[in-house]
A and B are shown apart, each in its own frame.
Chain A
Amino acid sequence: MMATLPRPRDAAAREVKVDVDIAHSFGALCVHDGLQFAVRENEFLCLCGPSGCGKTTLLDILAGLLKPTRGRVLVHGEPVDPKRHNISFVFQEPSTLPWLTVRNNVAVGLRIKKRPEAEVRRVVDDILGVVNLRGYEDYYPHQISGGMKQRVAIARAFATDADVILMDEPFVSLDQPTRERMQAEVLSIWERKKGTIIFVTHNLEEAVFLGDRTIVLSAKPARILADVPITLPRPRNTLSPEFMRLRTQFASLLNSALPSRSGR
């Protein structure tokens, strides 16, 4: 039965999910001066770049929250629209809604998408277990810690079965063990449910550990300095020589991306 065989998970064979060709300026400040790339179905893309180069701005544009001054973002060949496409976003800033309990915060996306209440309950219970927040369902954000709030935001993003998940340095406020746990959880959810993830991080080890591919951006106006597929087999061993080699390569790229002081 050839027809029922699953398609091979070969990057080149997968279709394009997100197609980006944009330029953006805030007034006179040019942030993106022509940025072009495509993300494939079920790809885990990591974005690295110096602080202030426009990564958050790029994600806002990808989510359809911000209109680029020029160009377009296509999701499945159509202009991106949060009402039509199933998008999730883990914001860099704290983003829990203070007037909702942990449970209702996690349920926000599902409620907006008008899922039946029984399903909301089941999904939220499930995902709260994954981010280790069981028992805190009825707490308000001001009663939990910063890292816990971030886990609420992560849970909210994974509660809706999004096709495109945007994550903006989601783990910076977590301690190392929790961070590693969350990385593993994100990977296991992604491997289970699939979906396209675009993940911004400053942490190169994180990028090499998580991504199918990493894009390194220059300081603004941001250009793509490198677009490197990472083919290491999963689960990846951070101590393996190949891992170290990639990590070092990105580090030197990122160093060269920083605006040189003497250049001003």
Chain B
Amino acid sequence: MSGHAPVLSSVRAEPQEPAPPAAVAPSGPRARSRWWTVLWNCVSLAVALVVWQIGAAEYHSPYLPGPAAIYEAFIDLARHGDVLGNSLWSHIWASVYRLLVGFGLGVVFGVPLGLLMGLYNSVYRNVRAVIEPFRFIPPIAWIPLAIILFTGLTRYAFLIFLGAFFPVFTATLIGVARVEPIHRKVALVYGATKAYVLARIVVPTVLPDILGGMRVGLGTAWMTIVAAELTGGTPIGLGRMMVNYSELLRIPEVVVSMVLIGLIGFVLNEILLLLEKYLFRWRWQVTL
């Protein structure tokens, strides 16, 4: 075994490790593969549309419109509005606005309550029987009650809130249990306050779960809003527009509404995903 003394005397002279490449920006191969992903998605989308168009042309039925007919209907709606004179944008905005209000409320209540009940687990254990059954009532099952109790924005905000709250709340609650005791200790040993531990240790640990819960909640909320609009009580909203056209048996406009609902949900989800990617650069990406 070598002695310590020579090492001690040469410590300062020891060469430093060669400098590593600065920071780890997603450049080179990773950035290139991202473009390939975009390209492949465009290709698969194009293939799907072509197959649909061919199928529609084959049947040639007014009940099975192809993408071309849908596109025409969309352009017409975008230019001239619907049969009642409401513009397409007012329908879209009405639905998105309701979503943002209800979803925002779901997050504003779900996150702090989840944190609180996660940190003070005894509170949660003692009120479980009150909270948990609500989780299993689907938001659409609340529609009849909401129709009776509320009108206008309140009704929709309430229903969307129900759709968004539980996924966010549950994800936060479960996330808190994942905080590693050693990370708490790191902060506490330097004299951190409870507030510091909450803001700098608990929240960063739970944030990925919160964002995950938000994406689930967003899906549920968006489905709920369309269902709620279908039941009436409002002249505008994507769901309403769809029902109006289905009563006129105008399939292309119905499908336009469906496609818009799908696309908007997709875009909102992608926005949250981008936010996740940006916020959680520190996370090791699991791949199989």
> Which residues does A use to contact B, with CB under 8 Å?
60, 63-65, 82-84, 87-89, 91, 93-95, 97-101, 108-109, 112-113, 129, 132, 134-136, 138-143, 156, 160, 176-177, 180-181, 183-185, 187-188, 205, 209, 235-239
Q: Which has the most chain A C-beta neighbours within 10 Å: B14, B22, B189, B283?
A: B189
> Are A112 and B11 neighbours in the complex by a CB distance under 8 Å?
no
> Are B283 and A142 neighbours in the complex by a CB distance under 8 Å?
yes
> Are B5 and A112 neighbours in the complex by a CB distance under 8 Å?
no
Residues of A near B7 (CB, < 8 A) are 177, 180-181, 184
Residues of B near A141 (CB, < 8 A) are 282
Residues of B near A89 (CB, < 8 A) are 185-186, 189
> Are B282 and A99 neighbours in the complex by a CB distance under 8 Å?
yes
Q: Which residue of B lies closest to A166 (CB)?
A: B189
> Are A108 and B190 neighbours in the complex by a CB distance under 8 Å?
yes
> Are B16 and A237 neighbours in the complex by a CB distance under 8 Å?
no
Chain A's nearest CB lies how many Å from the CB of B277? 14
> Are A112 and B23 neighbours in the complex by a CB distance under 8 Å?
no
Question: A178–B182 Cα gap in the complex (Å)?
Answer: 25
Q: Is the interface of A mostly helix, strand, loop or mixed?
A: loop
Residues of B near A63 (CB, < 8 A) are 189
> Are B186 and A95 neighbours in the complex by a CB distance under 8 Å?
yes
Residues of B near A64 (CB, < 8 A) are 189
- Tally of chain B residues near chain A (CB < 8 A): 37
Q: Which has the most chain B C-beta neighbours within 10 Å: A91, A98, A142?
A: A98
Known contacts being A65-B185, A109-B190, is A184 close to B20, with CB within 8 Å?
Answer: no
Q: Which residue of B lies closest to A109 (CB)?
A: B190
Residues of A near B188 (CB, < 8 A) are 65, 82
Residues of A near B5 (CB, < 8 A) are 235-239
Which one of A113, A135, A209 lies within 8 Å of B191 (CB-CB)? Answer: A113
Tell whether B130 is near chain A: CB-to-CB under 8 Å.
no
Residues of A near B14 (CB, < 8 A) are 181
A-B contact pairs, 19 of them (CB 8 A): A82-B189, A87-B190, A95-B182, A97-B183, A98-B282, A99-B204, A99-B205, A99-B283, A112-B196, A132-B17, A135-B17, A135-B20, A138-B24, A140-B24, A181-B11, A185-B11, A187-B8, A188-B11, A235-B8
Chain B's nearest CB lies how many Å from the CB of A179? 10
> Are B182 and A65 neighbours in the complex by a CB distance under 8 Å?
no
> Are A91 and B283 neighbours in the complex by a CB distance under 8 Å?
no
Which residues of chain B from 161 to 205 have a CB within 8 Å of any chain A CB? 182-183, 185-193, 196, 201, 204-205
> Are A138 and B23 neighbours in the complex by a CB distance under 8 Å?
yes
Chain B's nearest CB lies how many Å from the CB of A251? 14
Chain A's nearest CB lies how many Å from the CB of B278? 13
Q: How many A-B residue pairs have CB under 8 A?
A: 113
Chain B's nearest CB lies how many Å from the CB of A111? 9
Chain B's nearest CB lies how many Å from the CB of A196? 15
Question: A135–B21 Cα gap in the complex (Å)?
Answer: 8
> Which residues does B use to contact A, with CB under 8 Å?
1-5, 7-9, 11, 14, 16-17, 19-20, 22-24, 182-183, 185-193, 196, 201, 204-205, 280-284
> Are B24 and A143 neighbours in the complex by a CB distance under 8 Å?
yes
Question: A185–B4 Cα gap in the complex (Å)?
Answer: 12
Residues of A near B182 (CB, < 8 A) are 91, 93-95
Residues of B near A177 (CB, < 8 A) are 7
Question: A136–B22 Cα gap in the complex (Å)?
Answer: 7
Residues of B near A134 (CB, < 8 A) are 16, 19
Which one of B192, B283, B284 lies within 8 Å of A112 (CB-CB)? Answer: B192
Chain A's nearest CB lies how many Å from the CB of B195? 11
Q: Which residue of A lies closest to B280 (CB)?
A: A99
Residues of B near A112 (CB, < 8 A) are 187, 190-192, 196
Known contacts being A91-B182, A181-B14, is A98 close to B283, with CB within 8 Å?
Answer: yes
Instruction: Sort A-B residue pairs by CB-CB distance and give the 7 closest, nearest first.
Output: A135-B19, A109-B190, A83-B191, A138-B23, A112-B190, A142-B284, A140-B282
Question: A185–B14 Cα gap in the complex (Å)?
Answer: 12
Residues of B near A82 (CB, < 8 A) are 188-191
Known contacts being A108-B186, A113-B191, A239-B3, is A138 close to B22, with CB within 8 Å?
Answer: yes
Q: Which residue of A lies closest to B205 (CB)?
A: A99
Q: Which residue of A lies closest to B24 (CB)?
A: A143
Residues of B near A184 (CB, < 8 A) are 4, 7-8, 11
Q: Which has the most chain B C-beta neighbours within 10 Å: A60, A112, A176?
A: A112
Question: A91–B190 Cα gap in the complex (Å)?
Answer: 13
